[in-house]
Structure 1
Amino acid sequence: MAGRRDALLTTRDKNHSVTASRIAVAVFIGVLLGSIFAFFLPHGFLTSTPTPPTLNRKMVSSACESPEQVNALKFDIRSAKEKNSELKKEVKGLMERLRLAEQGKGQATEQFVVLGENHKAGPVGTVKALRTNPPVIPDDSVNPRLAKILEEVAIYKEIVVVLANTNVLEMLQVWFTNIKRVGIPNYLVVALDDRIEEFCKSNDVPVYRRDPDQGVDSIAKSGGNHAVSGLKFRVLREFLQLGYSVLLSDVDIVYLQNPFDYIYRDSDVESMSDGHSNHTAYGFNDVFDEPSMGWARYAHTMRIWVYNSGFFYIRPTIPSIELLDRVADRLSKDSKAWDQAVFNELLFFPSHPGYDGLHASKRTMDMYLFMNSKVLFKTVRKDAKLKKLKPVIVHVNYHPNKLERMNAVVEFYVNGKQDALDSFPDGSD
């Protein structure tokens, strides 16, 4: 009996030990799980997201801002205004590009066709070569001061430019008085001395004073018409490098309409002519007769009267800049050379052995709209029908008494004095 009881006690002790072990394991697992949940979920399962202290502070202080916050708000407003101003400039730039795109809608297509991949020639009558060279990439680093002035004065990257020193002060006054009367806002006087600069500023005329240049300073201050005319080719280069098209003007010109309304803009150079008829202005086939040659006595020649280097529109292209460089170089090497003769030789002479010609496109302006004084005094004033036409400009280039004739042109076309031109001879006395 005793052995059986001991066996039963042993079995009971074993069962009790197993139960105690299981309880201990369960307690351990419970403590472990509790620790895990306490670590990852410190606020329990059902907790609401607390309101951030910053929000509470903003809600409390919204009715009463601190000076620092007020200053911060003012700074934000200023920043917004500056951004708005920048956006306006961008919009203006986009509008300008849109206008230029519309203006040269066909030109862009031509450039793509010609400069792009090779292509076959189309049917007869449909082939058209490229006439308008693409503009250069503007480089403001060339002359930052001039770039800033042009940004304020030029319109659609175009500007009328005249060079002037004290020798032509009275004519300059007639020049800009009529430009203002017509309503041309985009013009600039390149002052070659201090007096002209002061004179322009006192008359509210846009002016640019060149930096001193030892090589040309004496010409700028005291040179006559021809000397100053040669200087302009050096000065114009910077305008083109900055990406602006220039309507170069001599000072002996009376403006009667806005010339930008009559420019084609399809060539590198667009110039008025010294011609006085359709043949002389636009070109003709001139037959040279040499009787000693027998049946071959007649030789055909192409003739055209020169472009006037005192009034031309030039686009910012590589051929245009090369033209200015070549003219300036020739004039620097030959003090007796006339800038207008050199200007035309470089534009018209073709490539030949020993010489590479300039590949610049050109257009002749309408001689009755862009009128020289020979056309006016020799033909127009004597023709009842032609007298009714209103030119864009009149250039007193053929006559020495320039100021008197300029004033007479104003009297005739502006003030309607019909006999204002009658007292002058056809030519010079």
Structure 2
Amino acid sequence: MAGRREGLLTREKGQSLQVSRIIIAVMIGVLLGCVFALLSPRGFFSSNRYIHSRPIGISDLQIESSACESSERLNALKSDILSVTEKNSELKKQIKSLTEKLRLSEQGKGHAQQQFVMLGEKHKAGPFGTVKGLRTNPTVIPDESVNPRLAKILEKVAISKELIVALANSNVKAMLEVWFSNIKRAGIPNYLVVALDDNIEEFCKSNDVPFYRRDPNEGIDTIAKTGGNHAVSALKFRILREFLQLGYSVLLSDVDIVYLQNPFDYLYRDSDVESMSDGHSNATAYGYNDVFDEPAMGWARYAHTMRIWVYNSGFFYIRPTLPSIELLDRVADRLSHDSKSWDQAVFNEELFFPSRPGKDGLHAAKRTMDIYLFMNSKVLFKTVRKDARLKKLKPVIVHVNYHPDKFARMKAVVDFYVNGKQDALEHFPDGSE
């Protein structure tokens, strides 16, 4: 019994010793694991050798903490940047708006400034009879890069950014002399001849006449040097564009015109185009209601039509506005594709025909000049010279547009209005022979 009891005790001691060894081994493993964890927090297989070999400390905890804080700060900065960007965008819009207002304020005069106010704000209609719409478009921003050489010439010649311009080649040399001689006599300093050939250039130089000779252009130069009145007249729409782009208002003039007063003293400047009329009376020049009769329609036989005689494309004042430039582009484009078209007809069609299906009309303001101040030769020879009261009026200009014997009639106009010869106009027929 005693031996069996000792055996049991020995066995129990061995088992307890084995358990103790296991516990000790586990504890050693845990301790080693903790040590390794402290020495290498990112493990033995990390790709970052620097972190793997560096012992962990308080700085690592601070880095992790600051990384979290940096992430939050980055998000906050992104939010701030987004907010600033939005504010910057708003500021840009405001600056652009202010710049536009400043531009219009500097360039606009009278109606142009009022128009910007009207467009920028909505207004209630005033009492009956007090409402006035605006008609004057703002001028374009001058662009001297279009033609620096012409810009320098205009800077010397123009007054208040406006001048008279005429195109001339050797075919109209005699009339050109009468033209500029009377301009000088009337004391008009701001005028310019676009010389289309060498002969006219030398003629202008010898007579102390301001001129501009265009740079060579093969297609245009052929028309300019050899073309007749209609060909040269069509060319002017293309040339005029540069004057407008440079910011100048132009009083375009044919050379069959006698100047008796300074036309700039009689312009309204409230429209894109201000033109003399081919009309010979108040009705034909300013418009009338013409009744068309078609008896086959019975009760509806009478149809009312609105009529106006065309503007003369040989004498008109044009302001440097977008509608004005669009008008020149339209006319020049049509004439370049149809050489048989008459430039004056195309000029009026583009200016007056309204928008319609398949076609956008030109939105340009226009004014008809006083027919007794800006007088065509039909008014003079058919009406004025036969009326004692009208003969006492002194027109601003007389345009010999209705008669082919232009030079003779121009000299007669000078004799009558300048030299005082009361019978100077009498021997001419009303029309052409």
- Structure 2 residues without counterparts, runs of 5 or longer: 1-103
Shift of 1:294: 1.1
Match of 1:324 in 2: 328
Alpha-carbon distance in structure 2 between the residues aligned to 1:139 and 1:100: 13
Alpha-carbon distance in structure 1 between the residues aligned to 2:106 and 2:149: 26
Shift of 1:118: 2.1
User: Which of 178, 183, 190 is matched with 1:179 structurally?
Assistant: 183
User: Which of 108, 133, 152 is matched with 1:148 structurally?
Assistant: 152
Match of 1:256 in 2: 260
Q: Which amino acid aligns with 1:136?
A: V
Alpha-carbon distance in structure 1 between the residues aligned to 2:161 and 2:107: 9
User: Which of 310, 313, 316 is matched with 2:314 structurally?
Assistant: 310
| C-alpha distance 382-100 of structure 1, shift in aligned 2 (>3 A) | farther
Match of 2:361 in 1: 357
Match of 1:246 in 2: 250
Alpha-carbon distance in structure 2 between the residues aligned to 1:99 and 1:333: 39
CA deviation map 1:49-107 (0-9, x unaligned):
xxxxxxxxxxxxxxxxxxxxxxxxxxxxxxxxxxxxxxxxxxxxxxxx99987xx33x1
CA deviation map 1:172-218 (0-9, x unaligned):
00000000000000000000001100100110000000111112111
Q: Structure 1 vs Structure 2: percent identity of aligned residues?
A: 83
CA deviation map 1:300-343 (0-9, x unaligned):
00000000000000000000000000000000000100000000
Shift of 1:109: 4.5
Match of 1:266 in 2: 270
Q: TM-score, normalised by structure 1?
A: 0.75
Aligned positions of 1:20-419 closer than 5 A: 104-105=109-110, 107-419=111-423
Judge conservation of contact 1:100–1:156 (CA < 8 Å) in 2: no
Judge conservation of contact 2:112–2:137 (CA < 8 Å) in 1: no
Secondary structure of 1:270's counterpart equals: strand
CA deviation map 1:253-283 (0-9, x unaligned):
0000000000000000000000000000000
Report the count of equivalent residues: 330
- Structure 1 residues without counterparts, runs of 5 or longer: 1-96
Q: Which amino acid aligns with 1:152?
A: K
Secondary structure of 2:367's counterpart equals: strand
| C-alpha distance 98-179 of structure 1, shift in aligned 2 (>3 A) | farther
Alpha-carbon distance in structure 2 between the residues aligned to 1:294 and 1:320: 44
| C-alpha distance 99-241 of structure 1, shift in aligned 2 (>3 A) | closer
Secondary structure of 1:419's counterpart equals: coil
Match of 2:425 in 1: 421
Secondary structure of 1:216's counterpart equals: helix
Alpha-carbon distance in structure 2 between the residues aligned to 1:246 and 1:112: 24
Alpha-carbon distance in structure 1 between the residues aligned to 2:270 and 2:417: 30
Alpha-carbon distance in structure 2 between the residues aligned to 1:113 and 1:123: 19
Secondary structure of 2:167's counterpart equals: strand
Shift of 1:426: 0.5
Alpha-carbon distance in structure 2 between the residues aligned to 1:242 and 1:254: 28
Q: TM-score, normalised by structure 2?
A: 0.75
Secondary structure of 2:215's counterpart equals: coil
Alpha-carbon distance in structure 1 between the residues aligned to 2:201 and 2:129: 54
Secondary structure of 1:120's counterpart equals: coil
Q: Which has the larger radius of gyration?
A: 2
Match of 2:69 in 1: none
Shift of 1:130: 1.7
| C-alpha distance 384-100 of structure 1, shift in aligned 2 (>3 A) | farther
Secondary structure of 1:215's counterpart equals: helix
CA deviation map 1:372-410 (0-9, x unaligned):
000000110011110000000000000001000000000
Name segments (4+ residues, structure 1) moved above 4 Å: 97-101
Alpha-carbon distance in structure 2 between the residues aligned to 1:332 and 1:166: 23
Q: Which amino acid aligns with 1:362?
A: K
Alpha-carbon distance in structure 1 between the residues aligned to 2:386 and 2:132: 41
CA RMSD of aligned residues (A): 1.4
Secondary structure of 1:257's counterpart equals: coil
CA deviation map 1:105-156 (0-9, x unaligned):
3x14521332212222222222221200000000000000000000000000
